[in-house]
A and B are shown apart, each in its own frame.
Chain A
Amino acid sequence: MANVILERSFEPPLTDERFSEITGRLSPCLDRSGIQWIRSHLSRDRRRLICHFEAADAGAVRDALRQARLDFERVWSGEVLEP
């Protein structure tokens, strides 16, 4: 499985309601595609979001986002480096 990162910005800043809407739309698509959502990091100003997934490849995450009709700036896969 690949570690896949999603990057996205929000303007206006991401509200809790909007976040749960995104989660609601994305989760079934991720489930159906067998993608695991590991964690997300939201900046203090709620304008930048980074999500970490485990998936077969980055293409699978892009397909799932497309199915959920969710935009993204970048989706890329990489290694996890622990300190």
Chain B
Amino acid sequence: MSPPELSIRLLGPLEVLEGAERLSLPPSRKARALLAYLAATRRPHARSALCDLFWQDVNDPRAGLRWALSKLRGVVDREGRTPIVSARDRIRFDADQAEVDLHRVQALVGDDPSTASIAALETAVDAFNGEFVEGLDLSGCHQYEAWCMGTRERLRKLHVSLHDVLTERLRDEPEEALPHALARLALDPYDEEGYVVAMDLLADLGRAEKGLELYNRCRRALSEHLGVSPSDELEEARRRLESPVRPRQTPRHSGGEAEAGDGDGAEDRTASLAQALADLPAPEHLPFPGPADPPLVGRGDEVEGLARVVEDSASRKVGAAILVTGEPGIGKTRLLRELAGRVSTGGGWVLSGPVFESEEVRPYGAWADMLRQLPEVVFDQETTRGLAGLLDIHGPGPRPDGPTERTQLFDLAAHLLRRLAEARAPGLVVLDDVQWLDPSSTALLHYLTRTLGSVPVAFALAARHGEVEPGSAVARMLRSLDAAGHLHRIHLGRLGAADVGALVRAVHAKVDADSVFAASEGNPFFALAVAESYQEGIQRTPASLADELRHRLERMGPEARRLLPWAAALGRAFDVPTLVRVVERPTAEVLETVAALEHRGILRATGPDRYDFAHDLVREAAYRRPSEPVRRQIHRRIAKVLDAVDPGEGRTPGSVAHHAEQGGLAGLAAGAYAEAAERSLWVFAFDEASIMVKRGLAQLEDLPTNKQISLELDLLRIYSFASMRDRRPEGLEARVAELADAAREQGRTNLVAIGHALQMELQYQRGAFTEAKRSSLRYADAGRASGPETAVRALAETATCLLLLDQAPRDARRLASEASSLSREHNLRVDAVALAQALLNHYDGKLRDASRAFEDVVQLGREANDRWWECPAMTRLIMVELDRNDPQRAVARAREARWLAERMDHPEEAAFARGLGAIAAEWVRQRPGQGETTEAELSGDLEVVDEALRQLRELDSLWHVAQVQLYAAEVELRREAMGAARTRAEEALEAARELGRPSLLAATQALLARCAALEGDDAGAAACLESMEITRPAHHLSHRAQRAVARAQKLIKTTAPE
């Protein structure tokens, strides 16, 4: 019997189905990506190529590949079916043994969808369930990423064109065409033509209101994102909607509400979403009550009341908000857990994120944690992209693309909850301890409670009585919900003697419940703690709950007593690997102690390797046990450990800042606050950013002046973002000017440049745009005030200056992009803009774009007879070609640049071009197929290089010297002249240090590491790679430097002994 048909879905999240059953895939992302790659490409791949694609970063790539193949075969192989075929050293996916949606679509529509039949087009369009292998990104595998991105873009275009062709073909049946027109807009929301088509279809259907809604959406998108007005065509389409034209055709179906995404595909998606919600586990920090929990006593009315509110919300399809208040330990969390359990058992879903003290260092922390619990299926393309910033707020890397203002982010969150509630109801969102909720999370919560009024989602909140700070964002939100009559309040009082008795007896039958009641005064958590002590034979009457908890902790073994303050300082929830790193004890020992604490009910496991204190009061007691100086040392150690976490592995600058501040590490705290504040801006958490800047500034007082200047500038630059305008302190500009002066006095060249860029940015913003809200408008106004070209030049030249100095690349990027938009808006062609863009592209490793932009600089200069940058642009082009591994072209570029520089009397650029040209020529000769390099040829070229260097040294141009030496050292390495390579790299390092250029320094250290590794000096190589220049660069390194570091790391891995 042949096995059921295997099908692989790549057009959306990767899925493998056997008949109708979805097979579970290996958890390894690389293994899944490998399957997708093999299935999508179908052709045979050499094992070595697959290793390069996916396992470049491991010691034994072939073992990685073997392991992944064995896992995949375990999933797809059956008797009579082995789709992954190995033949000698090659692997391929046999497409005859499985149906792959991508290939089916290709077979249906070929390369040109316009020639396919409507039926084929409709089948093809239905196959798309999201973007190609949605979510299957491998950030460390650059080749795979490039392939994946290219395929995604190609398929996105195909998807758009399928809808385009269908819309066109079905034009006479507007009802049929409309879903395709709308779906096309969802894929390409800035395409005006798409809006015009959809609006016309709506006009034909007599749905002018919906059409105008689309028009407004388009106008808003154009204005906010592209800064342009609607085209005449769009305005005409609007007029057609407004004119009283009869519908061209009456809808054939009575429902007539065909919308994008309607149809079987949408129903399937809703069904799978409903299933995913039904399978949703309890939130990690808010487990549903189980048999091990003490019973809930004395709260019957409250539970019923809360359950009624949620049920009401579901049956009437309205939103609801509940606030439970009470003193610590009174049972607020227990009540919320009971409610959550009921909602889940009744078929609803529950989401919750933990709220911790000091939440302002992680804006949206509770929401981010909540969203991370959701399975991938609940996120559609729009929410994934839009909420990525929020989800990645604690993650590394540059700012992700996403919403450009806060309401868009909030809309996406509302859209997500609405979708969940449509798939399954009721929904319950739980936030405990809202007295600590950060302002941004509060704003989002407030927004959701207001906008989801007709959606069956209830929000259950709990707060410690009297601890919501008056005037805080939380207090304001609660007042507003109260005023609107939307908030159901429940206050939990103390339990009576009978209830305490029932509670205590259920846990410890033999304990004297009356004494427990007398000691605990009806606080259930206190009562349970006292009962526990009595059970252990300790008959003392505690003065307070805190006193009881303190004594309870004292009774722990010495290991537990030692470990607890560290865990408590890490926070309410912590993970074991971090704890192990912090306490510097063997993992086994820590695990044993943690297990003992869990057994004693002090800690609670919440996930793999993750623990939570059973109650925040327990954490507080554990935290307060050691003296203040000891606590400071604990925080100090934690700050250092968290600071050492690689950005790629989830470094959290907010936590580093918090612990460094508590530990008195002022410099570290200030720097981390600056970093965390900038991350907050990505998600529009402006209040938090402001708080962080203030906290950072408060750290600076006792620092040495030079450190103070640098950190203060770093913190103050947060205010230069337009969105922080209202939060700027008085005298900001004057302070920045003072800092720039102080930096000059100290001889801190780089800081002076940063200070001036910041000052200029602030001056621009102050000058002419107090009322303007968006940066594009702002600079346009500035341009009108002082002549647009002046503004464009000033912006671009400041960006250029920063890039030439390799300082503050983020600011340079911002300035260059603003110069570029303003020049486009005024239709200006300014060489300074092209230069800034060229330098930026080169910095980012976009070499083709860089080459084009440097050519533009040359061209624009010639056109305007303003040839200041012509020679430097020409010599940069040589570097770009060398970086593109195209020495042949570099030789040609060098010849041209040298000729020009000599004619224009630029000895520096002429020498530079001569040196780089000789390096390129030597490189060409070293290439295979170029014949043996004779010693004479070799020394000839290197003599030219050395002669060029001699001139550059004479001209005292350190940057040129460093660059020539870096490229020349590569040539030396290729001919295995390690000593010569090292000598060159050392001079480059010295020059880079003198200039203080972070990327140059890192690239040079990486080269020295390679020299050492090739000479067999592993320790020396490791020392270079661990140098501050590589591990702690002043800012995000240039692409070239990053590539150099990666190359060195790879070499060291391959040369290191097993």
Question: Given A31-B756, A32-B756, A67-B797 in contact, is the A59-B958 Cβ separation under 8 Å?
Answer: yes
Contact with A along B700-744 (1 / 0, CB 8 A): 000000000000000000000000000000000000000010011
Q: Taking the nearest CB of chain A, how far is it from the CB of B442, in angstroms?
A: 41
B955 touches A76 (CB 8 A): yes
Q: Is B576 an interface residue (CB 8 A)?
A: no
Q: Is A24 an interface residue (CB 8 A)?
A: no
How distant is the Cα of A56 from the Cα of B752 in the complex, in angstroms? 13
Question: Given A31-B740, A34-B744, A67-B801 in contact, is the A59-B752 Cβ separation under 8 Å?
Answer: no
Q: Taking the nearest CB of chain B, how far is it from the CB of A7, in angstroms?
A: 14
Can you list 6 A-B contacts (CB < 8 A)? A32-B801, A36-B744, A56-B958, A59-B956, A66-B868, A66-B869
Mark out the residues of chain A between 19 and 68 whose CB falls within 8 Å of any chain B CB in the assembled complex: 28-29, 31-36, 54-60, 62-63, 66-67
Q: Taking the nearest CB of chain A, how far is it from the CB of B588, in angstroms?
A: 53
Contacts of A59 in B (CB 8 A): 908, 955-960
How distant is the Cα of A59 from the Cα of B750 in the complex, in angstroms? 15
Contacts of B798 in A (CB 8 A): 32
How big is the A interface, by class? Answer: 20 to 34
Contacts of A63 in B (CB 8 A): 804
Residue of A nearest to B748 (CB): A34
A56 touches B749 (CB 8 A): yes
How distant is the Cα of A1 from the Cα of B960 in the complex, in angstroms? 17
Q: Is A69 an interface residue (CB 8 A)?
A: yes
A67 touches B744 (CB 8 A): no
Contact with A along B745-775 (1 / 0, CB 8 A): 0011111110011000000000000000000
How distant is the Cα of A35 from the Cα of B960 in the complex, in angstroms? 18
Residue of A nearest to B805 (CB): A33
B752 touches A31 (CB 8 A): yes
Q: Is B823 an interface residue (CB 8 A)?
A: no
Q: Is B221 an interface residue (CB 8 A)?
A: no
Q: Is A9 an interface residue (CB 8 A)?
A: no
Residue of B nearest to A61 (CB): B956
Q: Taking the nearest CB of chain B, how far is it from the CB of A35, in angstroms?
A: 7
Q: Is A6 an interface residue (CB 8 A)?
A: no
A67 touches B800 (CB 8 A): yes
How distant is the Cα of A31 from the Cα of B805 in the complex, in angstroms? 12
Q: Is B866 an interface residue (CB 8 A)?
A: yes
Contacts beyond the supplied A57-B959, A58-B955, A59-B957: 12 A-B pairs with Cβ under 8 Å: A32-B752, A32-B798, A34-B750, A34-B752, A35-B749, A54-B747, A55-B749, A57-B956, A59-B959, A60-B995, A66-B869, A67-B801
How distant is the Cα of A59 from the Cα of B997 in the complex, in angstroms? 14
Q: Taking the nearest CB of chain A, how far is it from the CB of B134, in angstroms?
A: 45
Which chain B residues have a beta carbon within 8 Å of chain A's beta carbons?
740, 743-744, 747-753, 756-757, 797-798, 800-802, 804-805, 866, 868-869, 872, 908, 955-960, 994-996
How distant is the Cα of A58 from the Cα of B866 in the complex, in angstroms? 23
Q: Taking the nearest CB of chain A, how far is it from the CB of B854, in angstroms?
A: 15
Contacts of B744 in A (CB 8 A): 31, 34, 36
How distant is the Cα of A75 from the Cα of B872 in the complex, in angstroms? 17
B757 touches A32 (CB 8 A): yes
How distant is the Cα of A35 from the Cα of B752 in the complex, in angstroms? 9
Q: Taking the nearest CB of chain A, how far is it from the CB of B908, in angstroms?
A: 7
How distant is the Cα of A57 from the Cα of B753 in the complex, in angstroms? 15
Residue of A nearest to B740 (CB): A31
Q: Taking the nearest CB of chain A, how far is it from the CB of B717, in angstroms?
A: 15
| Residue of A29, A55, A60, A69 with highest tally of chain B CB at under 10 A | A60
Residue of A nearest to B871 (CB): A66
B957 touches A57 (CB 8 A): yes
Question: Given A33-B749, A59-B908, A67-B797 in contact, is the A77-B956 Cβ separation under 8 Å?
Answer: yes
Contacts of B804 in A (CB 8 A): 33, 63
Q: Taking the nearest CB of chain B, how far is it from the CB of A58, in angstroms?
A: 4
Contacts of B957 in A (CB 8 A): 57-59, 62
A1 touches B747 (CB 8 A): yes
A56 touches B996 (CB 8 A): yes
Q: Taking the nearest CB of chain A, how far is it from the CB of B423, in angstroms?
A: 56
| Residue of A4, A29, A67, A77 with highest tally of chain B CB at under 10 A | A67
Contacts of B743 in A (CB 8 A): 34
Q: Taking the nearest CB of chain B, how far is it from the CB of A1, in angstroms?
A: 6
How distant is the Cα of A36 from the Cα of B461 in the complex, in angstroms? 60
Q: Taking the nearest CB of chain B, how far is it from the CB of A29, in angstroms?
A: 7
Question: Given A56-B958, A69-B866 in contact, is the A62-B750 Cβ separation under 8 Å?
Answer: no
Question: Given A36-B744, A63-B804 in contact, is the A58-B753 Cβ separation under 8 Å?
Answer: no
B756 touches A4 (CB 8 A): no
Contacts of A31 in B (CB 8 A): 740, 744, 752, 756
Q: Taking the nearest CB of chain B, how far is it from the CB of A78, in angstroms?
A: 9
Question: Given A33-B801, A56-B994 in contact, is the A2-B756 Cβ separation under 8 Å?
Answer: no
Contacts of A36 in B (CB 8 A): 744
How distant is the Cα of A1 from the Cα of B748 in the complex, in angstroms? 10
Contacts of A76 in B (CB 8 A): 955-956
A34 touches B958 (CB 8 A): no
Residue of B nearest to A1 (CB): B747
Contacts of B872 in A (CB 8 A): 66
